[in-house]
Amino acid sequence: MMRFELYTEEKDERPVFITGNFNNWNPKDYQFQLMQEDSSHYFIEIETSVLPDEVEYKFTKGGWENVELDQYGSITPNRKAKKSAKKTSDTVAKWRLNWGPFKDEFSPIAEVISEQFYIPQLDRYRKVWALLPYNYHQSDKSYPVLYLQDAQNLFNEGSDFGNWEIDKKLSILAEYGRGDIIIIAIEHGSEDRIREYIFDNDHIANGSEGKKYIRFITDTLKPFVDENYRTKKDRENTGIGGSSLGALISIYSGFLYPEVYSKLLIFSPSLWVEPNNNFPMMNFQVPFTTKIYLYGGGQEGSKMVKRIRIFEEYLKRWEKKNFFDFEFRTSINPEGTHNEFYWSQEFPRAIEWLFYDNTENPVEVKPQQQSIKN
């Protein structure tokens, strides 16, 4: 057996877990939950047979959003120990709490592209934002781009429903060296929102305008962004996403324009609009590889998780028909409800998997998630 002892300087009653290169960096693995001696002393004994010769590890409070920090609130390097040592003794000064604290020096630069960006396909105007990496103006790099719906609920205070706090989450990603991405956030059209986010279903939204809205992002907004910002223009570096109806229109966007979008961020999609998954899609002789991050909450209604699972099965069927080459990850939070707080929690995990997919020093949370590659 190898004994890991932990002393904490910060009073925190949440359970403690150890994670590392012995459990695929799963930060909430109940096989590796520490026992508590007193309010500041924890330990666990692990069979040496499951440990590599050189153990890399970290302590968490059950997720990367609640991982250990140093006394200054900064990220810590992976701890290392030889299995032959038989015992370690470590101290944790602070713990993250729901991804915080957030460091202003890593915060993205929020720019208004236009208060009244003209949408020729719909003959109306819309406010559009760009969130740039914190060091954008000090570098000459080009960046991948993610287009997101419902900008009012993404980072601005004062939303009726709260917001995703993507500015804060991007600062966390930047602190981990994974903030090299531009977010283009399009405000929804208020009373026009439902019509714009429904593709072609007059039973749901009379005069549905989703087809025109998708063309606006793809044919008008993206060329403007590529011309005015240092972007990586190719499909491998272009994604689109949203939540609820915003997720639904993003599915349509990816399926209709696979030559443009290779990454889809799909949170709590309103699949009830398309219960039979009758999504139109392009059919190419050589399928495009498309990454899809699917998230849903177990408390969003009895059919949310069920419909996501059915959608997964359709993805596999479509792949067999050579429509697409899919790689997707599904994350289900049993406690998640249909609101911005849970989408906010999921955002860093989705960004990391879609654009980085690197777990050497992971940010993402892995329990209840799966990568499927047929």
**Res 123: pLDDT:** 96
Q: What is the mean pLDDT of residues 302-309?
A: 92
Query: Which residues make Cβ contacts (< 8 Å) with residue 135, sequence separation at least 6?
Result: none
Domain-ending residue, one of 49, 73, 95: 95
**Res 370: pLDDT:** 34
Distance (Å) of CA 4 to CA 38, 58, 76: 15, 11, 18
Residues 68 and 116 in one domain: no
CATH number, domain with residue 143: 3.40.50.1820
Tokens at residue 330, please? 């599904």
- The model carries a pTM of 0.86
**Res 365: pLDDT:** 37
- pLDDT more than 90, % of the chain: 75
Quote the domain boundaries for residue 126: 104-373
Summarize pLDDT for 132-141 with one digit per residue, the tens. Answer: 999 999 999 9
Domain-ending residue, one of 69, 95, 121: 95
- Taking the C-alpha atoms of residue 87 and residue 84, their distance in angstroms, rounded to an integer, is 8
- The three state secondary structure string of the chain is CEEEEEEECCCCCCCCEEEECCCCCCCCCHHHECEEEECCEEEEEECHHHCCCEEEEEEECCCHHHEEECCCCCCCCCEEEEHHHCEEEEEECEECECCECCCHHHCCEEEEEEEEEEECCCCEEEEEEEEECCCHHHCCCCECEEEECCHHHCCCCCCCCCCCCHHHHHHHHHHCCCCCCEEEEECCCHHHHHHHHCCCCCCCCCCCCHHHHHHHHHHHHHHHHHHHCCECCCHHHEEEEEECHHHHHHHHHHHHCCCCCCEEEEECCCHHHCCCCCCCCCCCCCCCEEEEEEEEECCCCCCHHHHHHHHHHHHHHHHHCCCCEEEEEEEEECCCCCCHHHHHHHHHHHHHHHHCCCCCCCCCCCCCEEEEEC
Read off the amino acid at residue 154: L
CB distance 46 to 2 below 8 Å: yes
Domain-ending residue, one of 74, 95, 116: 95
* 110: exposed, middle or buried (Cβ count in 10 Å: 0-12, 13-18, 19+): middle
Summarize pLDDT for 28-70 with one digit per residue, the tens. Answer: 999 999 999 998 999 999 999 999 999 999 999 999 899 999 9
Residues 61 and 207 in one domain: no
CB distance 287 to 259 below 8 Å: no
**Res 133: pLDDT:** 97
Longest Cα–Cα distance in the chain: 70
**Res 287: pLDDT:** 74
Summarize pLDDT for 208-231 with one digit per residue, the tens. Answer: 899 999 999 999 999 999 999 999
Count of CA atoms in the C-beta half-sphere (13 A) of 274:
23
Residue 363 has pLDDT above 80, yes or no: no
- Taking the C-alpha atoms of residue 259 and residue 176, their distance in angstroms, rounded to an integer, is 30
Residues 293 and 325 in one domain: yes
Residues 223 and 301 in one domain: yes
| Chain center to CA of 106 | 18
Summarize pLDDT for 234-269 with one digit per residue, the tens. Answer: 999 999 999 999 999 999 999 999 999 999 999 999
**Res 348: pLDDT:** 94
Residues 135 and 21 in one domain: no
Residue 155 has pLDDT above 70, yes or no: yes
b/e per residue 94-107 (b: at least 16 CB within 10 A): bbbeebeebbeebb
Residues 356 and 268 in one domain: yes
**Res 368: pLDDT:** 33
Q: What is the mean pLDDT of the chain?
A: 90
Of residues 363 and 18, more confidence is placed in 18
**Res 362: pLDDT:** 52
Residues 119 and 38 in one domain: no
Q: What is the mean pLDDT of residues 314-341?
A: 88
Residues 64 and 114 in one domain: no
**Res 203: pLDDT:** 57
- pLDDT more than 70, % of the chain: 90
Q: What is the mean pLDDT of residues 81-106?
A: 94
CATH number, domain with residue 33: 2.60.40.10
Residues 54 and 146 in one domain: no
**Res 360: pLDDT:** 47
- The tokens 């153990």 sit on which residue? 55
- Taking the C-alpha atoms of residue 366 and residue 185, their distance in angstroms, rounded to an integer, is 27
Query: Number of folded domains in the chain?
Result: 2
Residues 57 and 126 in one domain: no
CB distance 332 to 296 below 8 Å: yes
**Res 366: pLDDT:** 36
Residues 59 and 189 in one domain: no
Residues 83 and 132 in one domain: no
**Res 279: pLDDT:** 84
Tokens at residue 135, please? 């060091």
